[in-house]
Structure 1
């Protein structure tokens, strides 16, 4: 977006326009400074919501200075956005740690996963249990041992602290009788859980507890086979089937559940690639570093997610395999990195996807940054709105396509066209001058 266009947008005086502008990830630091001084708090809150990795000119120190200023903003929503920013300076975080608004402290506790011990202690002893709970997660440091008992004593923090607590057989039995399913699920995942308690939890009435038992490294093969059949078989109601499918399908992303396999030595992961359970094969493939011949073998795995994960995490996968996977099964945004983002995805593959009869594939064709303008133009006139919307934001969109996109029946297409990279400044001047 050119500086001239930015000036036109800011000059419109429309707070909603300024708010949308604030989400643009390539704004120069001078513009961020002006947004940080905007009278509307919704606009000011967009500055810290941009994210730590977003490009800022001339350097990130400017953004740090803005965060320091916005940390003293009178509006809690702005301070909450600063507290959630992963690159907030230590001085800012230390101030917000004692903010009078609970939501601000919660946002800080939730996002500050590398807090120094003294700061983590302050958050874990906050007067509000929701703040204490927000500072407990698999991504946070383990809570200090002297806080285990008080955190275990409160229902809001019991499940969160449980993975760090030293279990005795008596305590494990008491927690297994808890009426809180989140507590029993956390207990089921504990590495030091006595075998008798784990066996009992395998028959727990709550499905999330049984899933945790199934994912555990320590259950015997026969118990794992029985649980897997129960949790994935036809006997469940629709809601339980969805829950088990979601938890098992995404376990490979969670080191608190599958870290024992994700981070295992290559030899152990290779052995699990022959597991009868797709969730184990996914985790084994996600660890990366697999030999080329193993990756090619996994391209024939019956579970398409195993194939996606193996391909996305391999430097050896051929480009034609990546394209074949996308053509046959599409993309899945829950599996990152995307196959179309892989450096070995063939450039001509995007051209072929653009000419597909499947609108989902035409949509992914627009991930090709060098897609020819003629194809982008054709996709801008696609019968499917989501394809037109994606085409409107492509860098090779011809300006001649904009009038029809701006008159589109779909409001989201119109909005995407208004933010097009090559939008002419005179057009924007006329649009912002219109009433309403």
Structure 2
């Protein structure tokens, strides 16, 4: 996030060409330290020492071990200031306290005990953190966590499909309010278990069951009558739904979405079962989904590498942009398909389509003449973009275009100087972070800030 008040200091801290002496001086300023903390790679010891001098525990809190030399790691571990010495462990403990994701190795380091011991720690939040992060735990540890007296621990132990629930504990976990939703989402269910889970009509439980990839055709058919957009979409994307059922359920949710239904929007775009099973279906069956009304089915189809040319032509012309973008990632996509897609919509996906080996990069310069500023932005992917084009883009009303010029490797010093004073903070930030920035200009930025 760009600093709104000191964008040049923030950008300079991230500048990969900034020498150690500049970074040491920059460390005396809050916004400069923020930029330095976002740099990639190992930091020189002198810079780390300056960060600790001016930032104290706050800086130590942000310094990951892979950015420090072994000597500096030892320096922090034995630092006389406990705020610095304990900062890495305090960070992990705060993550555990707030029930945020954190790696099991970090938990072991912070608490100074092996994961086997931490699984039985007195604090239930620690036990829950171990259950969330130690996926490959042995069966005896999983059994202990599933019997934990704290519901948060039991819920964490069933959050993921693995290591799973032993058969002898399955009924107990399905009856436990803390675990039954998670378990219902992952394990193969018997007819009796399915009936018990769906009998009460509890919304979250029905949604969990509907997302279970192991449902039988009979179970999917029974869920098809549930009046809930998330359940409807999940059933429509099930391997057991026939074409008529899929189209009917999807049409119902689309109609609810058209009427302004928020849950319908979430179901269509952010929720629901991903039809990953489709990739393993026979080719003949997969091709029947070319005409399905749910774009998620066609997006999954477009991710298959073995489709015939006729199918690719249809997917390249699909009405859904997401389908076209997925299809454009195939190894043998024609260059003209990539160019047409980017010229029509820009390139806002990751990884960018212009990075595809088949993209005609020699045409990037021509994008600078497009009317849509989102498409003109693509021209900045050309490291050899001529200066006249850079000057036109630097004069654009849209700050994201000016920011792109500020970070471009071909920017002139005159343009860079102008963009350093741009009224948009993100533009000045990018200009200060450009490695083409001369050393004397870096020193002037420091001097202007009294550093």
Q: State the TM-score bracket (shorter-chain normalisation).
A: 0.7 to 0.9
Match of 1:44 among 53, 60, 76: 60
Partners of 1:44 and 1:78 within 8 A in 2: no
The residue that corresponds to 2:296 in the other structure is: 279
Equivalence map 1:383-422=2 (5 Å):
383-422=397-436
The residue that corresponds to 1:53 in the other structure is: none
Name the SS for the 1:273 alignment partner.
Answer: helix
Q: Distance in 2 between matches of 1:396 and 1:34?
A: 34
Partners of 1:41 and 1:78 within 8 A in 2: no
Which stretch shifts more, 75-84 or 358-367?
Answer: 75-84
Q: Distance in 1 between matches of 2:200 and 2:75?
A: 47
Deviation track 1:28-75 (CA, whole Å, cap 9, x = no partner) reads: 57589658957444433444499xxxxx799xx999999999996366
The residue that corresponds to 2:38 in the other structure is: 23
Q: Distance in 1 between matches of 2:351 and 2:409?
A: 22
Partners of 1:19 and 1:42 within 8 A in 2: no
1:66/1:382 CA distance change after superposition, 3 Å? farther
1:425/1:351 CA distance change after superposition, 3 Å? same
Per-residue deviation, 1:90: 9.6
Deviation track 1:161-185 (CA, whole Å, cap 9, x = no partner) reads: 2233342323212211346423211
Per-residue deviation, 1:154: 4.1
Partners of 1:188 and 1:198 within 8 A in 2: yes
Does residue 14 (structure 1) correspond to residue 36 (structure 2)? The answer is: no
Per-residue deviation, 1:310: 0.7
Per-residue deviation, 1:365: 2.6
Partners of 1:298 and 1:306 within 8 A in 2: yes
Match of 1:206 among 225, 228, 236: 228
Q: Distance in 2 between matches of 1:65 and 1:260?
A: 50
1:87/1:168 CA distance change after superposition, 3 Å? closer
What is the TM-score normalised by the length of structure 1?
Answer: 0.78
1:427/1:64 CA distance change after superposition, 3 Å? same
Q: Distance in 2 between matches of 1:78 and 1:426?
A: 40
Equivalence map 1:9-408=2 (5 Å):
9-12=23-26, 13-28=28-43, 39-48=55-64, 73=87, 76-77=90-91, 92=109, 95=113, 98=118, 110=132, 129-130=151-152, 133-134=155-156, 136-137=158-159, 140-145=162-167, 148-149=170-171, 151-178=173-200, 180-193=202-215, 197-233=219-255, 236-247=259-270, 257-264=274-281, 266=283, 268-291=285-308, 294-312=311-329, 314-333=330-349, 336-408=350-422
1:194/1:298 CA distance change after superposition, 3 Å? closer
Instruction: Say which structure, 1 or 2, has more relative contact order (CA 8 Å, 6+ apart).
Output: 2
Q: Distance in 2 between matches of 1:149 and 1:31?
A: 59
Per-residue deviation, 1:203: 2.9
What is the TM-score normalised by the length of structure 2?
Answer: 0.75
Per-residue deviation, 1:429: 2.5
Q: Distance in 1 between matches of 2:92 and 2:157?
A: 21
Per-residue deviation, 1:246: 0.9
1:101/1:291 CA distance change after superposition, 3 Å? farther
Q: Distance in 1 between matches of 2:259 and 2:378?
A: 35
1:130/1:2 CA distance change after superposition, 3 Å? same
Per-residue deviation, 1:139: 7.0
Name the SS for the 1:366 alignment partner.
Answer: helix
Q: Distance in 2 between matches of 1:216 and 1:81?
A: 36
Q: Distance in 2 between matches of 1:120 and 1:241?
A: 37
Per-residue deviation, 1:384: 0.5
Which stretch shifts more, 409-418 or 101-110?
Answer: 101-110
Q: Distance in 2 between matches of 1:7 and 1:116?
A: 51
Q: Distance in 2 between matches of 1:63 and 1:261?
A: 51
Which stretch shifts more, 281-290 or 162-171?
Answer: 162-171
Give ranges in structure 2 of 5+ residues lacking alignment.
Answer: 1-14, 79-83
Q: Distance in 2 between matches of 1:384 and 1:177?
A: 55
Partners of 1:152 and 1:162 within 8 A in 2: yes
Report the RMSD for the aligned CA atoms in angstroms. Answer: 4.3
1:260/1:317 CA distance change after superposition, 3 Å? same
Task: Number of aligned residue pairs: give it.
Answer: 420
Q: Distance in 2 between matches of 1:174 and 1:306?
A: 38
